Structure 1
Amino acid sequence: MTISDILYHKIYPPVNGLICYVRDSSITVCNPATRQIVKLPDVTCNGRHLEARLGYDPVKDQYKVLCVLKTIIPFRPNQNNIQEEYLVCTVTSSKKQEWRKIENTVGLCLGISRGICIDGAIYYEAEQSRIVRFDVRTENITLINAPEESEFSRIFPSTLLNYNGKLGGVDYLYKSAMRLWILEDAEKHEWSSMTCVIPSKLERLRGSYVMSKGDVHNGEPIMVFHPWSWSLEQFCVWYYDFEKEIIIRKVEVVVDGEFKSIHGIDEQTWQMLCYPGYFENIRFL
């Protein structure tokens, strides 16, 4: 599915096969499987920074987009110079779509990541080792404290993932080990963890372009991605099992010149977005 001017869009991780992308004040939800595109009403930004995240409520079977607008007020110290406004829109193909302002009762969140949707809630990192939780059905915002020993809530890109239906995050302990954190109780801010030694094959790839991400269901392994070059001619997918501490398999993906020309990928393109756990959804909104 081709989207014009793709380099000028911010694309967010898929939810049930649907993808949300943003350009300026325009927010669109599309389904690559059915080619359906649903454009939401434009947001009045007035110079404010816009972030949007797609979520799904399995109880009412509804998709919603959470929009966060940030305003920076000059000549105010520290975080007092930032204001946030939260808007929500229910995604539908009808013309009755509208943005609703919701109240944030937990204070300034300062989201810095693209986030992930798990079991009716959108999670994304905030500053000060906190994680924002937005309940898609009730439209309530709460904060979860990340483990004090963790680093995953303070790095970019996001390393939040879905681990067997629970929120997870990955720390890289120097170049020798990875630690997986799993949220066991959101209300009590309780986390469990498991640490494993990075195999030598992955240790040599450790760096800013290696990350664990996406959806991990029914004990399936975490996927670790490593683009081999800025030209996107080749990158690797490593299937790694945290519990068994073994590499299941390695897949090399080659993007040849013909593919690039057909899909409009040129030398200036330097980013390949990979989303493990994606599946095709034939539903029309």
Structure 2
Amino acid sequence: MKSRRRNVPEDPQTIRRRSSRLSADELLSKIPIDLVIEIFSRLPLKSIARCRCVSKRWASALGRSDFTELFLTKSLACPQLLFACQKESELIFLSSPQPKNPDEAVSLIAADHHMTFPFERVDDISISINGYVCITDERILKGRKTPEDVLVICNPSTGQSFTLPKIPKLKKMKRTAKSFFVYDPIEKQHKVLAMARVDGRYVHQVLTLKGTRNLTWRMIECSVPHYYPGPKCICIDGVLYYGALGSNKCHILVCFDVRSEKYSSIKAIQRAVEEGATLVNYKGKLASLRAQPNPHAISGTSTSFEMWILEDPEKHEWSSRIYKLPPVWKDVVAGEVLFFKGVTATNEIVLSPKTSSDIYYVYYYNFDKESITRVEFQGMKPFRKGWGSGVFTLLNHVEDVKLI
């Protein structure tokens, strides 16, 4: 009589030893791809960078569009502060979770280092759009004596960057007056809008980012004559807004539809768009912030600030509010000179200095509580005043792991 074979459970250590003999590729192939994507999407940024180096199969899985889209979607729910710190010929990127309802007591948050890029003289950095920033770098090109603006797209999450083609030179064209980094949420396309002065008038050119090859600038028509575009701009739901001087020498609010590439304008209260005003996204609406008495910056001597809100773009209707700073304002801010950086999803204005000392603070003003909170960020080396040094603070940055 044959004895029956008994199903004895394997020893867990035996299972672990067998699993340890599997290569990384074999282990990945035994897991359903949907589960692989879900697991990877929960990893921190630096872990994903290391996993890409394991093998070609792992790199391929992390390059799938469904994975990068899922990772970006999760990142959008957890926006970060991005710090671009320039010191001499380097631009150092650091990021930190964007505090949600920071306590009134002084908070302490660590800033995580991303990447360091070589730059000569950073003139401007755009807002962060889906993890990318556009940097205007002043460079003296080979064979030239005067500096020219060179536009560079950077992704601090992957450490990648690429230089955009030079803006075509037109006859009697002077240096580029202004460039804007914008995004069309419907077509999911990044674009760059550039303006340059030619014989007393401005010409407008657009470049659509489709990969990194065969990128070309296109001339577009502007139906709204304007001059001297302001340094402050904001892109909301596919529309770029910025202040400028109109043909009647008065300040106007210029609108550029990113998808159609058409211009329009909105009648604006002069105080809302003139020099010193900062344009922000307030609950999905365009708003303008100005400190009092000095509109260019806010300090311990400031007493209040005003906000103009565009309630109805079609009817050109605006509303205004005055916010008095709390009594503790002077003590909290001390001798700092601060600048408006934007408004968070939790309804707080963010202010920060342009340079850092041994300690770097970011300030949050709560509209509802009319309170001020100071948050210290560790890991920020001193970037003192002077040409070639400084700190750019960017709100609502998200991590995008899509490789260029």
Please state whether the residue corresponding to 1:276 is helix, strand or coil. Answer: strand
Quote the offset at 1:206 in angstroms: 9.1
Q: Tell me how large the CA RMSD over aligned residues is.
A: 2.6
2:201 pairs, out of 65, 79, 83, with: 83
Please state whether the residue corresponding to 1:200 is helix, strand or coil. Answer: coil
Please state whether the residue corresponding to 1:34 is helix, strand or coil. Answer: coil
Find the aligned partners of 2:304 and 2:123 in 1 and give their Cα distance.
35
2:291 is matched with 172
Please state whether the residue corresponding to 1:277 is helix, strand or coil. Answer: strand
Change (3 A) 1:198 1:241: same
> 2:168–2:217: 8 Å Cα contact kept in structure 1?
no
Q: Give % identity.
A: 30
Quote the offset at 1:155 in angstroms: 2.5
Task: Return 5+ residue gaps in structure 2 as ranges.
Answer: 1-114, 138-147, 294-301
1:43-58 to structure 2, matched below 5 A, reads 43-45=167-169, 48-50=174-176, 51-58=178-185
1:28-107 to structure 2, matched below 5 A, reads 28-45=152-169, 48-50=174-176, 51-71=178-198, 73=199, 82-107=200-225
Find the aligned partners of 2:253 and 2:330 in 1 and give their Cα distance.
28
> 1:45–1:69: 8 Å Cα contact kept in structure 2?
no
Find the aligned partners of 2:256 and 2:186 in 1 and give their Cα distance.
15
Query: What amino acid is aligned across from residue 3 of structure 1 in structure 2?
Result: F
Task: Return 5+ residue gaps in structure 1 as ranges.
Answer: 74-81
2:118 is matched with 4
1:13 maps onto 2:141 in alignment: no
1:234 is matched with 359
Quote the offset at 1:276 in angstroms: 2.2
1:212 maps onto 2:212 in alignment: no
Quote the offset at 1:214 in angstroms: 2.4
Quote the offset at 1:255 in angstroms: 5.8
Quote the offset at 1:66 in angstroms: 0.4
Change (3 A) 1:170 1:238: same
Tell which structure's C-alpha radius of gyration is larger: 2
**Cα deviation digits, residues 208-252 of structure 1 (max 9, x gap):** 9322222432x431112235xx564333211111233122x3112
Please state whether the residue corresponding to 2:230 is helix, strand or coil. Answer: coil
Change (3 A) 1:195 1:267: closer
> 2:336–2:353: 8 Å Cα contact kept in structure 1?
no
Query: What amino acid is aligned across from residue 391 of structure 2 in structure 1?
Result: M
Quote the offset at 1:38 in angstroms: 3.4
1:263-282 to structure 2, matched below 5 A, reads 268=386, 269-282=388-401
Please state whether the residue corresponding to 1:272 is helix, strand or coil. Answer: strand
Find the aligned partners of 2:169 and 2:390 in 1 and give their Cα distance.
27
2:82 is matched with none
2:312 pairs, out of 185, 197, 210, with: 185
Higher relative contact order by CA 8 Å / sep ≥ 6: 1 or 2? 2
Quote the offset at 1:133 in angstroms: 1.2
1:149-168 to structure 2, matched below 5 A, reads 150=271, 152-156=272-276, 159-168=278-287
Q: What is the TM-score normalised by the length of structure 2?
A: 0.59
For these two proteins, the number of residue pairs brought into alignment is: 263
1:140 maps onto 2:247 in alignment: no
Quote the offset at 1:267 in angstroms: 7.2
Quote the offset at 1:25 in angstroms: 4.5
Quote the offset at 1:197 in angstroms: 0.8
Q: What is the TM-score normalised by the length of structure 1?
A: 0.81
Quote the offset at 1:107 in angstroms: 0.7
